[in-house]
Structure formats: C-alpha cells, structure tokens
Amino acid sequence: MFLKKNSFIEGTIIATVAIVLVKILGMLYVIPFYATVGVQGAALYAYAYNIYSLFLEISTAGIPNAVSKLINEYNTLNKQEAKIRTFKLGKKILGFIAITAFIILFVFAPLIAKLIMGDMAGANSVEDISFVIRCVSFALLIFPFLSVSRGFFQGHNIIYVSSFSQVIEQVARVSVIIFGSYIALNFLGLSNAHAVGVATFGAFIGGFCAYLYVRKKLVNNKKELALDTNFLVKDEVTNKEIIKKIISYAIPVVIVSIAFTIYNNIDMILTLRVMDYIGSYEALEVEFIATAISTWASKISLIVTWTRTF
C-alpha cells in the first residue's frame, strides 16, 4: 500500500501529538527509575546521557533536516535520481561522522569522566562513569541512519512514519530503562553502575527498534519512493552541489543545537566543581543538585518547551 502524504496542518498535528507522547514518557520514567537506582545511580545516568547528547547533536544535528529539505526540493522538481543521491550522500556523511564520534566517545570515556568529576571524593567513580558512557556510546552507531531515514520521509511529506518511529523509539528506550535496571539490580544481582549501564544502553535498543520500523517502510515502498536508481535518468545535479547545499542548510541548526548541549554540560560540570570546592555539602548532595539542575528538573517543562514551537 502506498504511503499517504500529509498536508501541512495534518502533519503538524501528527508531529505534535507524537512529540507530546514522547515527552510524557520521557518525563514519567524518571519516577520509577529514580526509585530503582537512587540518587547516585540517577547522577551516573545523567553524566553519561548529557555527554552522549552532545556527541549525538554533533553526529545528527542539522543534516537530517537539510536532507529532508533537499529531498522535498528535488521531489517537487521531479529530479528523482538527484533525490536518491541526496539520501545516499546524507547517509554516507552521517555514517562517517557517527563512527568517528563513537570511537572518540568510547576510547576517551575515562578522560571525559575525569573532566566531569575532577577530584571529587565520595561520589561516583571515574571508572563507573566511563563504563556507562561506553554503554550509551553504541547508540551513536544507529541514530544518524535513523535520523536521515526519517528526513527522507519528511521530505516526501509523509510525517506519520517519522512520528510513529519516535514513539516506538521512546517506548522501547523507557522500557529498557525501567525494567532493565530493575532486573539487573533485583534479579541478576548486578551493581548499581551495571544497572545504569543497562539503562543507558536502552538508547541503542530504542533507536534500533525505530530504525527497523522505518527501514521496513522504505523496503515495502521502494517502488513508490523511487529508491531504485537503475531505472532513473541521471540528473544534472552534481554530488558537489548536493553536499554544498546539505552543509549550508545544516550549519545554522548544528551551531544552535551544539551550543545548547555545551551550555548544559558546562552548567553541570561547574555546579559540581563549585559546590565541591565550597565544601558545605556531601558528595551525594552535590551530585543530586548538579544533575537535578542539568537533567532531571528540566524534564518537567519538556512538553511545554517542545510543543510551543509548532
């Protein structure tokens, strides 16, 4: 069955509903997860996830949107071959960036952990932070390809595929976070750090489940989406032109997205360092305050801040 295209209003409604559902899940999972791993475990999760978010923004921010715009442009101009080349080039660019980001995050996890904690005593260890950072780093290998595939559908004004994949991703991720950490602690007898490692690996599981759904839609509608370039006449648009357009469209979004996550990580690190230097609080209290400011408290306003843009 051919995929239904969505009008602007219909697409906006679908995307908004999906985002609201995703953000509600992203807010509610905090309660059982916090109860399972405690303050120190939640802080450990926040350290890994904030750093991962920065690398994820570097790996994906801007390029999927740029690919979506270009695909929409070439589809409107009936340049089907150029449209498919844009999709493939987008995947290659993101693939290279993603693998590089994964290697950096995985290899230099101990240095990053040391940068976060400094010489704070009595808090989460550098080894534990390194472990959970490495667990979440695997998600970098799947999300770039998921993002550009979503952009491909959005470029065709097929919004519901991208939106539904976000819901699938979040449901799978939250399920692993809640049930995975609980099982690791209470049934397998693993340490708190390993339970948090399982929770952070949920990002990869969620992304992989969403990618399987999007990939299935691509394969099942290969003919309608003109994905087979063997029967298409090559357009005059060069790869160099496509890459230049992708970069020019992506740069503004990349700058804004990376700046936000950098500020967030700086806030977390500075709060940890300053409060530890003052010495008026125990290490566990310092971790709670720092991660509450940078990660957990902000989830309360997620729905408002994401839906107000539509």
Instruction: Kindly state whether residue 269 falls inside one of the protein's structural domains.
Output: yes
Instruction: Kindly state whether residue 41 falls inside one of the protein's structural domains.
Output: yes
Measured distance between the N- and C-terminal CA atoms of the chain, rounded to whole angstroms:
30
Of the two residues 76 and 201, the one the predictor is more confident about is: 201
pLDDT tens-digit map of 246-269: 888 888 888 887 887 888 888 888
Residue (of 306, 114, 141) closest to 207 by Cα position: 141
Mean pLDDT to the nearest integer, 174-201 = 93
Cβ-defined contacts of 285-289 (< 8 Å, 24+): 286/120, 286/123, 287/39, 287/40, 287/43, 287/123, 287/124, 288/39, 288/43
Instruction: Kindly state whether residue 48 falls inside one of the protein's structural domains.
Output: yes
Residue (of 32, 3, 8) closest to 185 by Cα position: 32
What's the token pair of residue 93? 């660019």
Instruction: Kindly state whether residue 1 falls inside one of the protein's structural domains.
Output: no
Flag whether pLDDT at 200 surpasses 60: yes
Considering the entire predicted model, what is its pTM?
A: 0.85
Instruction: Kindly state whether residue 20 falls inside one of the protein's structural domains.
Output: no
Residue 308 confidence (pLDDT): 42
pLDDT tens-digit map of 99-158: 999 999 999 999 999 988 877 777 788 899 999 999 999 999 998 888 888 888 887 778
Q: Where does residue 190 fall: left (phi above 0), alpha (psi -120 to 50 degrees), or beta otherwise?
A: beta
Instruction: Kindly state whether residue 239 falls inside one of the protein's structural domains.
Output: yes
Report the number of distinct structural domains present in the chain: 1
Structural domain of residue 178, as residue ranges?
28-307
Determine contact, residues 184/195, Cβ cutoff 8 Å: yes
Instruction: Kindly state whether residue 9 falls inside one of the protein's structural domains.
Output: no
Instruction: Kindly state whether residue 157 falls inside one of the protein's structural domains.
Output: yes
